Amino acid sequence: MDNDKLAALVVVALLGCMAHTCQASYGYPNPMPPIPSPTPPTAPALTLNYYSYSCPNAEAIVREAVKNATDNNRGIGAGLIRLFFHDCFVRGCDASVLLDATTANPEPEKLGIPNFPSLRGFEVIDAAKTKLEKECGGVVSCADIVAFAGRDASFFLSNGVVDIKMPAGRYDGRVSFANETLRDLPPPFANVTVLEAMFKAKGLDLDDMVTLSGAHTVGISHCSSFADRLPADPSDPTSMEPVLASSLQQKCSRGGDPVVVQDDVTPRDLDKQYYQNVLDRKVLFKSDAALLSPQTLKAVEHNAKNPGKWERKFTDAMVKMGNTEVKTKANGEIRKQCRFVN
């Protein structure tokens, strides 16, 4: 499918949702930006144990920071996995999501609608970077810290089952724009066709999409992100399970924008429970329910029924995602502070 047809398909799919309640529920603009063309293959080769000589304790320092954070609040671990995903999907895995607003750039990625105010874990990256700069200044990129943190959060939240061998060697990007988050990050109301196209644009296939969606087995969501799914619609075979929908409607009617856990069965653990939740229609987002589509249903069933299958696929998918549009010394830098370019 060429890019013009793909863009048209995305706009039609998103407008169909937003004509009802999605614009009010999510705060996304109407129309949504078209999906970008697929990115070129990664040029530089990332390697395991990249810092073994230049900063031998680098990965241990990041792991300690993540462990300290997740020991106090496992939800921060879910935030770090999401931070890695949101970084890689916009301009590649280059830590552009960490950049703060400045006079020169008042609207960086972290202030984009999909990221603000829900994205979290920045303070864990800062803690690791501060210690790394004292031990080996100017050596470890913020982009690699984000990747290591996503890896380590997966390890701790899965109780050691998801053990990712994450290569490194990324450089940090110098550019970050909030409006690119809408173009590149899959919205919670996307159907499976849109999801497949958006992942394909990043070099990831349909099975990678299904696999990475499993991270929704941990973490929380604001009610505004699934308000269009309440109350349950008996005529829709992908509608939320009625008892869960009723419970969530009560929680979400308390004023403000409350948060709820994404997986009510094993909310603290990164595991395959998400896929059983999809089959039971006990998931929050339309993009979760979309996995009941014929194109993805078999993969969901396999992940739900086969112990260890999803965990192995998730480790591979995280590494594959971590290779997206990697920066080099030629077009990146090693930031001294993760929140600002040098």
What amino acid positions are annotated as catalytic residues? 86
What secondary structure letter does DSSP report for 217?
A: G
* Alpha-carbon torsion (244, 249, 251, 256), positive or negative: positive
207 marked as binding residue: no
109 marked as binding residue: yes
296 marked as binding residue: no
| 324 touches 93 (CB < 8 A) | yes
21 marked as binding residue: no
216 marked as binding residue: yes
**Residue 307 main-chain phi, psi, to 5 deg:** -55, 135
266 marked as binding residue: yes
Report angle CA 18, 19, 23 to the nearest 5 degrees: 35
Q: 222: part of which helix (H) or strand (E)?
A: strand 220-222
Rounded Cα gap, residues 18 and 14, in angstroms: 6
Using DSSP's 3-state secondary structure scheme, residue 333 falls into strand
Q: 260: part of which helix (H) or strand (E)?
A: strand 259-261
Rounded Cα gap, residues 34 and 245, in angstroms: 32
217 marked as binding residue: yes
20 marked as binding residue: no
103 marked as binding residue: no
Over its C-alpha atoms, the chain yields an Rg (Å, rounded) of 19
316 marked as binding residue: no
Rounded Cα gap, residues 108 and 176, in angstroms: 5
Q: Which residue positions form the known binding site for heme b?
A: 216
Q: Which residue positions form the known binding site for substrate?
A: 186
Q: Which residue positions form the known binding site for Ca(2+)?
A: 87, 90, 92, 94, 96, 109, 217, 263, 266, 271
Q: Which residue positions form the known binding site?
A: 87, 90, 92, 94, 96, 109, 186, 216-217, 263, 266, 271
